[in-house]
Structure 1
């Protein structure tokens, strides 16, 4: 046959199959490779074992490439279906619910395992969240400039958060809904002006008088919640400042006024406004007078957060034109917060809410504290002592951060010279106090100065070892402080802003006095002169000994016993007003008992020797 004819008429033959199915191969029977199942498997009812969708064929001898792809696709689809069913099972059950039973045991078992892992992770995260919230509550990361805290019956507003954190005991419901007599209201406003506003002028006194006039008009204008809060909190602070006992009328009225202010808290403490900072300041000031109902540590923390969020801790840029009066008002508001934060942190031995490095605010211009124009309700406004207080707080902040807030394993370089330098700066501050400051406020500032001397010189983790001269300075300043605070506490009326924190200061001064007597009692009680240590070249010399104001009242032994006694008497007197002061007195009696016993024994021996009733034992 010619080649051309073979090409035109090819010989058609059936190709031999690549491989028989596994059943035919094992049975050694002929397989016709019929799809979807061969005839032999079909007759035996084993069609599923003879399909292209299974893996019963020897690798490398698959029936066809297409069949191999189909097999691979089906395997992948099965895996994908299993993964989806497992995911859906865990998602539908939730982390704390068991999965619904299914027919596939292994799948359900895996779902249980995964659900258990999710539950454990959820519980761990929940515990971590709760611990973080509790431990960091004082620094709660709430943006206080956000104005979405709208009050309602069911949601948590910023004010309710502040009050929940700050309240020690709930304030009783008000007994009345009427305003107090106008004369009584104006008397309390005037008291606030003379005792508090000269030190913390967060708002002008003229606005207080204008508000009182508006409230007592026959047809008053519409009064905002922040103004009601201002009115009632000023009355509460003025009344509490006059209190001498937890049972007297002044304290009862103060709690009543606070109860009248609280319904306005949601609007008064609304974030994003300067009125929020002013309202928080008033809450802080009242909490310093009423620790039974409020803890001052939390309100001042929230106030500092509001100040930072509103940018009051930085002066506006020079490119921003601002009226000088408005700028001074802004600066006064900031430094009122700054001064209270430093005072509260130091008396509680805690860290400041923000460091001085973050502050860039100039001092406000000196002026009248209440800003009442001539012809106002008060003919002569009280002189402004606030700038002097702000400067002292800045000096306190400097050495307190260095000596008490740094790393205790890294002492302050040349700590002794550093302490003498800070004492000299505080002495310079006292010499520059304005001459027209009222006597009561000057006395309060002098107590602050002596308290600062003792605090700065006292032993600290980062300070130098205290010298005998340093102990002598603490000895003299502590006696002077106690003599004056004792007299002040016994006055029928205090003309300055004294709070529960003064009880804490008395306890601190008494504790430091006991410490120096325990460490160097023989030297201090002997009355022997202790020379001033020489100063290093180019360094400030140590401060001189303070002038004694109690000459003629006995030797150092008598002075020491009187000082210890006055610590306890002052704390007992404050205990009538603040119950926590009684706990301080009990603690002081415990820590001073050994020193007290030693001093009384010394005095008995001295008195016996002076009267000739005591004779030393003969030497054997």
Structure 2
């Protein structure tokens, strides 16, 4: 074909009537020859639109109606200037806009006017500190703490914090109105307390008794299942030598302090009073995953619960024992450590936290070394859901709620889970 020859004209799709009758359609506008002879409307079938059926004479009819309306305006309203309408596109120099932009020209023009108000110099003239403070505020609104006893934050969306701002603003002058008066106080007429409040108090007392019983059982398990302190250090060091370089999701100082605290728990008597997270009242505070600043603000409360700490330690010991078994060293029984970890697993991951996510990662590593069959993909899926719930997928480097060490641990945990999920 010569370069100067014209390109063949694209054949229009057959109309609805020609399709049904299986005859050739010439594609003429405003109606094909077959529909013109039959004196019926020529309908195009376009599956790309929601309407689906479009009259082929639609454009012709619309132009004719516009001319008819303009003639009426010229006759009855001669003072109206028809040339003073919206600006028309120059089809010779400007390429046609997409259908979405043509259908809504007013929105596009308004957006262009809004953008022209701000000069480029004004946009670049904003200070870097203002941008950092705005980003920090956005991160604070997206990461919320849902537990009064814990500094653990959860990601509920970039605008989750804005849901609570109207309530706080409405009660700005009277903070006491946020909390309704307790129904336990006797009323003026001497009536009894609200039965729902009494039920809540009974339920809280029952849950507290159940929690204390679980703590007692855990302490008894620590006394029977923990190896000697020397063997525990040997197995822990073996775990970090084998896995930490590839999966650095554990904080070594936290593991060491946590191990000392668990051995202290194995020596306490049953009558010892407990903290809210299961640690004995005599247990000294220790930092967890670099969250020093948060714990100091909360009165130096230990961030990790005793159940999560025991589960992590037993999983570490079990994984190291599996590695020794593969080397034909049967000095340690990995099954005993795994059973102890499963006994404390339910309360350990009952709340979504960074420590629970570390436990899930340890479970995945255990499946790499153990011969037991387990659904590793389901575990990885659960861990990724935990990571998104905690907002680990968001860059919180400019958020002042986390120390540098805590921020690094959040990044390490997320990318370890992300690499396993990929």
Q: Shared fold by TM > 0.5?
A: no
Is the radius of gyration larger for structure 1 or structure 2? 1
**Structure number having the greater helix percentage:** 1
Output the TM-score relative to the length of structure 2. 0.37
TM (norm. structure 1) is 0.26
